[in-house]
Amino acid sequence: MDVQLHRLEWGTLVSRLKAGDFDLARYSWCADFPDPVAFLVLAETGASANYGQFHNQAFDDALRRARSSRTLDQRNAALQDAEAQVLRLMPIVPLFHGRRTSLLNPKVGGIRGNREGLHPLKYVHPAKQPPRPR
């Protein structure tokens, strides 16, 4: 197998992905809402970010069932079916998951961790300082 790596400027990469001008591409994705669908949509037929033009009817049907489910149990079962199709066929290969590290000055209060790694400033305040030892 002959493999050639090409480092591309972001706009060029996106243009080539949208045009289908690739055999294999490294691309990053982050969920903009905390739900499995935010990642599974990458393999949905016709989805704008399905750059590989993957198509699998069983996957699409499972995703459709998840979206129209009336109960959380039904939705979770359908999402598990969709995920199983993606893991079996591997149109997307997750290589790594990003991570964030934050430093917090003890003089700052009101910052709490959350899944999105966002820290709304409206909750930030000066922290109460412990009395100094005498």
Q: Can you give the residue ranges of every domain in the chain?
A: 10-89
State the Cα–Cα distance between residues 45 and 60, nearest whole angstrom.
7
Mean pLDDT score of the chain, rounded to an integer? Answer: 89
Superfamily of domain 10-89: Dipeptide-binding Protein; Domain 3 (3.10.105.10)
**What is the per-residue pLDDT across 28-72, written as a single tens digit (0 to 9) for each?**
888 788 899 999 999 999 999 999 999 999 999 999 999 999 999
Strand locations in 1-134, DSSP E? 108-109, 125-126
State the Cα–Cα distance between residues 101 and 17, nearest whole angstrom.
31
Q: How far is CA 120 from the centre of its chain?
A: 21
Please tell me the pTM assigned to this model: 0.72
